[in-house]
Chain A
Amino acid sequence: MLQPRDLRDALRLLVPRNGAPAPVPFAGGTDLMVHLNAGTLRDRRFLNLWGLRELRGIRLHRGSLEIGALTSWTAIRHSARVRRRAPSLEAAAAEIGAIQIQNRGTIGGNIVNASPAGDSLPALAVLEATLILRSVRETREVPFGGFYTGYRRTVRRPDELLTAVRIPLAPIRGARHWFRKIGTRRAQAISKVVAAGLIRRSRTGCIEVVRFALGSVAPTPVRASRTEATLLHQIPNATVVARATAALQRDISPIDDIRSTREYRRHLAGVLLRRFIEESG
Chain B
Amino acid sequence: MIAPSVGLPLPRTDGFDKVTGRAAYVDDLRVPGCLHGATIRSTIPHGRLRRIRRDPAFDWSGFTFVTAADIPGQNVIALITDDQPALVDGIIRHAEEPVCLLAHRDRERLLAGLRAVTLECDPLPAALTIREGLARKAKIYGRDNIFKEIRIRKGEVRTAFRGAHRIVEGTFRTGLQEQLYIETNGMIAIPERGGRMSVLGSLQCPYYVHKALKRLLGVGDDRVRVVQTTTGGGFGGKEEYPSMLAAHCALLARKAGKPVKIVYDRLEDLAATTKRHPSVVRHRTAVSREGRLLGMDIDVLMDGGAYLTLSPVVLSRGAIHAAGPYRCENLAIRARAVATNTPPNGAFRGFGAPQTIFAVEMQLNRIARALRIDPVELRRRNVLRPGDSTATGQVLDAGASGPLVLEEAVRRSGWSVRRASFTKRAPPDPERASKAPRKGTASGRIRRGLGLSLFYHGAGFTGIGEVYLDSHASLAVTRDGSVEIHTASTEIGQGMRTTFAQIVGDELGLPPSMVRLAPQDTSLVPNSGPTVASRTCMIVGKILANAAADLRDALVQWAGDSPRRAPGRRATRGPWNPQQFRRLASAWVRKTGPKVFTRKYDRPPGMKWDEKEYRGDAYGAFGWGVNVAEVEVDAETFEIRVPRVDVVLEIGTVVNPLLAQGQAEGGTLQGVGYALTEEVVRKNGRMANAQLTNYIIPTTADTPEFRTTLLSNAYRHGPFGAKGMGELPLDGPGPAIAAAIENALGVSIVELPITPERLAKAIRARPAHE
Contacts and interface: CB of A to CB of B under 8 A. Distances in A.
Decide if the interface of chain B is mainly helix, strand, loop or mixed: loop
Interface string B733-770: 00000000000000000000000110011000000000
A235 to B, nearest CB: 11
Contact of B701 (A38, A185, A270, A278): A185
A259 B694 contact: yes
Nearest to A184: B696
Contact of B436 (A189, A238, A245): A238
Contacts of B761: 263-264
A263 to B, nearest CB: 8
Contacts of A37: 265, 267
Contacts of B265: 37
A267 interface: yes
Nearest to B431: A270
A170 interface: no
Nearest to A37: B265
A185 B699 contact: yes
A222 interface: no
B437 A281 contact: yes
Given A98-B699, A182-B637, A185-B701, A274 B437 contact: yes
A38 B691 CA distance: 9
A18 B432 CA distance: 61
Interface string A167-191: 0000000000000001011111110
Interface residues of A, number: 36
B699 A281 contact: no
A183 to B, nearest CB: 9
Contacts of A263: 757, 760-761
Nearest to A192: B756
Contacts, number: 80
Contacts of A261: 757
A258 B694 contact: yes
Contacts of B434: 238, 242
A278 B438 contact: yes
Contact of A186 (B111, B435, B699, B757): B699
A260 B439 contact: no
B392 interface: no
Nearest to B697: A185
A236 B757 CA distance: 29
B391 to A, nearest CB: 37
B388 interface: no
A34 B637 contact: no
B702 A185 contact: yes
A271 to B, nearest CB: 5
A274 B698 contact: no
A186 B691 contact: no
B639 interface: yes
A182 B639 contact: yes
Given A238-B436, A258-B694, A261-B757, A187 B267 contact: no
A268 interface: yes
B263 to A, nearest CB: 13
A185 B437 CA distance: 27
A188 B694 CA distance: 10
B637 A271 contact: yes
Interface in B410-438: 430-438
A224 B555 CA distance: 83
A264 B638 CA distance: 10
Residue of A38, A238, A258, A260 with most partner-chain B CB within 10 A:
A258
A190 B693 contact: yes
A186 B637 CA distance: 14
Interface string A7-51: 000000000000000000000000000100111000000000000
A230 to B, nearest CB: 14
B145 interface: no
A248 to B, nearest CB: 11
B437 A187 contact: no
Contacts of A279: 440
A36 B299 CA distance: 46
A278 B700 CA distance: 31
Interface in A44-81: none
Interface in B610-629: none
A171 to B, nearest CB: 25
B698 to A, nearest CB: 7
A177 B430 CA distance: 25
A274 B702 CA distance: 26
A184 B753 CA distance: 13
B288 interface: no
A72 to B, nearest CB: 20
Contact of B760 (A185, A237, A242, A267): A267
Contact of B437 (A192, A238, A267): A238
A136 interface: no
Interface in B74-112: 111
B699 A274 contact: no
Contacts of A270: 431, 433
Given A38-B267, A260-B757, A267-B430, A185 B677 contact: yes
Nearest to A98: B699
Contacts of B438: 278
Contacts of B440: 275, 278-279
Find the residue from A38, A271, A281 having the highest chain B CB count within 10 A.
A271
A237 B693 contact: no
A195 B699 CA distance: 23
A120 to B, nearest CB: 17
A241 interface: yes
Interface in A228-281: 236-238, 241-242, 245, 258-261, 263-264, 267-268, 270-271, 274-275, 277-279, 281
Interface string A106-148: 0000000000000000000000000000000000000000000
A185 B698 contact: yes
A241 B437 contact: yes
A264 B433 contact: no
Nearest to B759: A264
A185 B696 contact: yes
Interface in B376-432: 430-432
Contacts of B757: 260-261, 263-264
Nearest to B434: A238
Contacts of B689: 258-259
Interface in A165-221: 182, 184-190, 192
B111, B437, B641: which has the most chain A beta carbons within 10 Å?
B437
Given A186-B702, A259-B694, A238 B639 contact: no
A186 B701 contact: yes
A192 B756 CA distance: 11
B687 to A, nearest CB: 9
A122 B156 CA distance: 64
B688 interface: yes
A74 to B, nearest CB: 17
A250 to B, nearest CB: 15
A184 B761 CA distance: 17
Nearest to A267: B760
B279 to A, nearest CB: 22
A182 B637 CA distance: 8
B636 interface: yes
Contacts of A190: 693-694
B737 to A, nearest CB: 15
B681 interface: yes
Residue among B636, B696, B757 facing the most chain A CB atoms (10 A cut-off): B757
B385 to A, nearest CB: 41
B435 A238 contact: yes
A51 to B, nearest CB: 26
B757 to A, nearest CB: 4
A188 B437 CA distance: 32
Given A185-B699, A274-B433, 5 more contacts: A237-B436, A258-B689, A260-B757, A263-B761, A281-B439
9 contacts: A187-B702, A190-B694, A238-B437, A258-B694, A259-B694, A264-B756, A267-B430, A267-B760, A270-B431
The 6 closest A-B pairs by CB, nearest first: A186-B701, A187-B701, A258-B689, A278-B440, A264-B757, A278-B437
